[in-house]
């Protein structure tokens, strides 16, 4: 067992804009977070991952940073941040900051300088190219629709932006830029923060010559030329030598398009790069051939295959991160569970399913309350740049059907996860005394933290119990994973083994009861049920051959 604190931890992600507003301007802020630290401590989380709080014009809600060493006015001040760090540490919790260095804001001083002239000292901090035949330098599309290039009149060249045109990509080939980034990281770590979540960190190295995606389309997905690019491991190893290795911290890299063989390099056991990465493979199971908005139903069979592949392939070679939602993904209970009749049962089932796997679990704010997706009738009620760009391209310019696209937004839109946290049943769910920047989900009277913390059978307390179990049993952290009941159409079941102990995890992913026959060497009769999402009444016999709708049970065999 290679014991590490970041393997034993549970991380809680805060999207500050939507977490808690302390000053009534309708926008969550750092003081708001501080006011809820006891809530997080009671839940039992070890690490808080804070989505970006740096200075930003908010084209992409803080993922477009104009000053890495200052705080966004709407969120507060550096003193507030220092206070947050201090108060987290006083409670025995840690702080992981978001590091967004694939791109900056176009309002960052580096870019303001870079666009002035071709010979500006900062020019090479970004990726500039002349046009080709009166068009963009290549045919890549951005993650947020349209070309990944923007023409800049001043110097008559294009700059690359894999996200919005206000998020120009940084040129990692430039050693001076890399040094500036490392210095900035050290500055934060010297302050005492405990780690970084690295935004799309596997996009920092682009293929030599920036070739167009093949097939001759005017605009096309060029991911093969910028995901897991040629120098990415070299850069991360350098970052590790220069910065990360000097501190006892936790690092997780967001890595779209990374395979398990990429992952065992990024998250290698020798610790030369990062501790773990976020895979997207399970998040892509409900996307059709045309990508995210081309929604298709996900299949349990595929979920088993993908999750198990990551468990097996990283065993002994790396470390997994475990998540089912975040600020970019729809709400887990709406996507993989049932957000109506079985909302509570399925939220607990999904939590069990995830927290019992091998890896570090991440909880996204409101997940512990079973918060759900939202349906806004009006496109104007959405805020997300990804949604608006896509809507403009497909409906306003492309003539596609409005209601079909709205349906896709209901299932996949990022704002599903960004509606304000539902604290209580007062106006605006207790999130703000003003007008919230994004409307509150109208179900807040039924689903909120005040209700959850007053009900010992709530999803919140179920998470608390799951987290406690992790502290109690090594096997939950370090046990080896094995899939069982592979062909079962309703149940996702697996075991974890450590020394002479075995954990059996049974989760029903459907709203019908599900019968099962366990492998012959597993006998539940003498096993201890350590957690389950249905109350077992005194003297009641639990059916050892059947699960109720969305039932989850975890047994410890000795």
Dihedral angle at the C-alpha atoms of 175, 181, 183, 186, nearest 10 degrees?
A: -140
State the minimum distance, in angstroms, from the CB of residue 361 to ligand NOJ.
18
Provide the angle, in degrees to the nearest 10, between the axes of the packed helices 175-191 and 232-242. 40
Count the residues of the shown chain that bind ligand NOJ, applying the rule CB under 6 A. Answer: 9
Which C-beta is closer to ligand NOJ: that of 61 or that of 155?
61
Nearest distance from C-beta of residue 484 to ligand NOJ, angstroms? 34
Which residues are CB-contacts of 119 (< 8 A; sequence separation ≥ 6)? Answer: none
Least Å from the CB of residue 447 to ligand NOJ = 24
3-state secondary structure of 349: helix
**Interface of this chain with ligand NOJ, residues 57 to 86, rule: CB under 6 A:** 60, 63
Instruction: Give the per-residue contact string, 18-57, with ligand NOJ (x = CB under 6 A; - = no).
Output: ----------------------------------------
Catalytic site positions: 199, 254
Minimum CB separation of residue 97 from ligand NOJ in Å reads 14
Q: Shortest Cβ distance from residue 199 to ligand NOJ (Å)? A: 5
Structure tokens at 378: 């009006």
Q: Between 362 and 481, whose beta carbon lies closer to ligand NOJ?
A: 362
DSSP H stretches of helix in 413-501 = 449-453, 459-472, 474-478
Q: Show the binding pattern over residues 316-355: x = contacts ligand NOJ (CB under 6 A), - = does not.
A: -----------xx---------------------------
Query: Taking CB under 6 A as the criterion, which residues in 230-269 touch ligand NOJ?
Result: 254
Q: Is 163 in the site for ligand NOJ (CB under 6 A)?
A: yes
Identified binder of ligand NOJ from the candidate list 136, 169, 194, 199, rule CB under 6 A: 199
C-alpha 27/C-alpha 394 separation (Å) is 30
Residue number of the CB closest to ligand NOJ reads 63
DSSP string, 486-503: TT-SSEEEEEEEETTEEE
What is the rounded radius of gyration, in angstroms, for the C-alpha atoms of the chain?
24
Q: Which two tokens stand for residue 449?
A: 């933290």
Among 11, 33, 81, 100, binds ligand NOJ (CB under 6 A): 100
Distance CA 445, CA 441 (A): 9
Cβ neighbours of residue 464 closer than 8 Å, sequence gap 6 or more: 42, 43, 44
**Contact of 361 with 11, CB cutoff 8 Å:** yes
| Residue closer to ligand NOJ (CB basis): 52 or 532 | 52
Tokens of 276: 């773990």
Shortest CB 107 distance to ligand NOJ, Å: 15
Q: Which is nearer to ligand NOJ, 323 or 342 (CB)?
A: 323
Q: Which is nearer to ligand NOJ, 415 or 551 (CB)?
A: 415
- Closer by beta carbon to ligand NOJ, 49 or else 494: 49
User: Could you write out the DSSP letters of every residue in 181-216?
Assistant: HHHHHHHHHHHT--EEEETTGGGSSPPTT-PPPTT-
**Contacts with ligand NOJ, residue ranges (CB under 6 A):** 60, 63, 100, 163, 199-200, 254, 327-328
């Amino acid at each position: 067992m290679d014991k590490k604190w970041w393997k034993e931890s549970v991380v809680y992600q805060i999207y500050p804009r939507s977490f808690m507003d302390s000053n009534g301007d309708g926008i969550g802020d750092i003081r708001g977070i501080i006011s809820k630290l006891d809530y997080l401590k009671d839940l039992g989380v070890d690490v808080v991952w804070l989505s970006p709080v740096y200075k930003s014009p908010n084209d992409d809600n803080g993922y477009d940073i104009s000053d890495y060493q200052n705080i966004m006015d709407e969120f507060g001040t550096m003193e507030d941040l220092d206070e947050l760090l201090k108060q987290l540490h006083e409670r025995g919790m840690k702080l992981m900051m978001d590091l967004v260095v694939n791109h900056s804001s176009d309002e960052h001083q580096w870019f303001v300088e870079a666009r002035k002239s071709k010979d500006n000292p900062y020019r090479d901090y970004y990726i500039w190219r002349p046009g080709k035949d009166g068009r963009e330098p290549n045919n890549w599309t951005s993650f947020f629709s349209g070309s990944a290039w923007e023409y800049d009149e001043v110097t008559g060249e294009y700059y690359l932006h894999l996200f919005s045109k206000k998020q120009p990509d940084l040129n990692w080939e430039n050693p001076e830029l890399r040094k500036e980034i490392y210095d900035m990281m050290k500055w934060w770590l010297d302050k005492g923060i405990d780690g970084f979540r690295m935004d799309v960190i596997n996009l920092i190295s682009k293929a030599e010559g920036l070739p167009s995606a093949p097939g001759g389309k005017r605009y096309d997905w060029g991911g093969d030329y910028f995901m897991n690019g040629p120098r990415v491991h070299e850069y991360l190893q350098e970052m590790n030598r220069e910065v990360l290795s000097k501190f006892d911290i936790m690092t997780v890299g967001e890595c779209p398009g990374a395979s398990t063989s990429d992952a065992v390099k990024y998250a290698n056991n020798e610790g030369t790069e990062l501790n773990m990465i976020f895979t997207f493979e399970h998040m892509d199971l409900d996307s059709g051939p045309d990508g995210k908005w081309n929604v298709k139903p996900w299949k349990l069979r595929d979920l088993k295959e993908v999750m198990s592949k990551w468990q097996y392939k990283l065993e002994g070679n790396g470390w997994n991160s475990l998540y089912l939602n975040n600020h970019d993904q729809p709400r887990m209970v709406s996507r993989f569970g049932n957000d109506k009749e079985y909302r509570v049962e399925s939220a607990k089932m999904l939590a069990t399913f995830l927290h019992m796997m091998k890896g570090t679990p991440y909880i996204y704010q409101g997940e512990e309350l079973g918060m759900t997706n939202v349906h806004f009738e009006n496109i104007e009620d959405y805020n997300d740049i990804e949604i608006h760009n896509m809507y403009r391209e497909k409906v306003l310019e492309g003539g596609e059907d409005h209601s079909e696209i709205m349906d896709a937004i209901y299932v996949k839109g990022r704002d599903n996860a960004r509606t304000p946290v539902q604290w209580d049943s007062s106006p605006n769910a207790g999130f703000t005394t003003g007008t919230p920047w994004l409307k509150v989900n109208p179900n807040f009277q039924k689903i909120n933290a005040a209700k959850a913390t007053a009900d010992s059978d709530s999803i919140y307390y179920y998470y608390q119990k799951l987290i406690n179990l992790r502290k109690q049993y090594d096997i939950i952290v370090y046990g080896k994973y094995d899939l069982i009941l592979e062909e079962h159409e309703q149940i996702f079941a697996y075991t974890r083994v450590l020394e002479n102990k075995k954990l059996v995890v049974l989760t029903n992913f459907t709203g019908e009861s599900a019968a099962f026959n366990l492998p012959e060497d597993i006998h539940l009769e003498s096993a201890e049920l350590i957690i389950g999402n249905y109350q077992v009444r005194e003297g009641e016999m639990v059916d050892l051959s059947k699960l109720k709708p969305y039932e989850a049970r975890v047994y410890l065999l000795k």
